[in-house]
Each structure stands twice: as C-alpha cells, then as structure tokens.
Amino acid sequence: MKRSYFCPHCEAMLNPGQKIVIKAVKDLAAGLFLFSPQVGNYNLIMPDSFRLSIGDRVTFYCPVCGADLSSEADTDLAVLDCIVEGKGAFEVHFSRVFGKHATFVVRDGQVQRFGEHAEAYQTVNFFGEGEKE
C-alpha cells in the first residue's frame, strides 16, 4: 500500500521516491534527513556531518516551502499529512527529539501510538482545545 506524505502548509509531496525528505536544523547545522514512510520504522539517513546526541531537539522544515513542521499538539513533535491508497488521509505526528521513538497516527478522532517512547505523550491532546482524545 502506497503512503504519500505531504507538507501540511504547502501540500508538497515529501516522499517522491522511497524515503520522506525533510530539512532538519539543530543550532547552526542544517541538512536533509531521509525517513522511512513506514510508521514506527525509526531508521534514519542523515548527513555524516550532522552531529546529534540522544535528547537533542531538531526542528524540521518542509524542503519545498520552508515551513516549520512543528506540531501544535506538543513542542516535542513534528507533523506531516499522509494519504494511504485505499484508506484515506490522516496526520502523522512524530518526535523531534533524537533517540525518542514516538509516532502518532491521528484520524477520525482516534490516535494510534507507535514506538517505545509513545507512552511519554499520554497527555497530548491532538484534537485542539476543548476536544478530547
């Protein structure tokens, strides 16, 4: 099943090939990161010169429009839109903290949690003020 990921701001497709392409910035370092489109797969390809330590927070940007991909639900998360062939559209929120494996698929008032650190985000309200998870 093909998963297509999009910038929630300009709607540019971010995985024209086998990987999701996102611009990453940490302090003065910037580079393109390649992520697996498979939810819960935390394999990452990044430039050798981009040095990260466990716990570092990275800011992700759309490589097309330059918009900040930080999630409004939590400052430690980023967000992309996704369409899965035959299953429709949803949001994918994922950790901006290097080494923290947590991904959330948000669709139709439901949240699916993936990753060994997802439980740390139990109190996150993905649906906005006044709405409950």
* pLDDT tens track for 30-77: 999 999 999 999 999 999 999 999 999 999 999 999 999 999 999 999
| Residue predicted with more confidence, 68 or 132 | 68
Give the pLDDT confidence score for residue 128 in this predicted structure: 77
Strand order in the sheet with 88-95: 3-6, 77-84, 88-95, 103-107, 110-114
Mean pLDDT of the chain: 93
pTM for this model (two decimals): 0.92
Does the structure show a pLDDT above 70 at 123? yes
Task: Report the distance separating Cα 89 and Cα 63, nearest Å.
Answer: 21
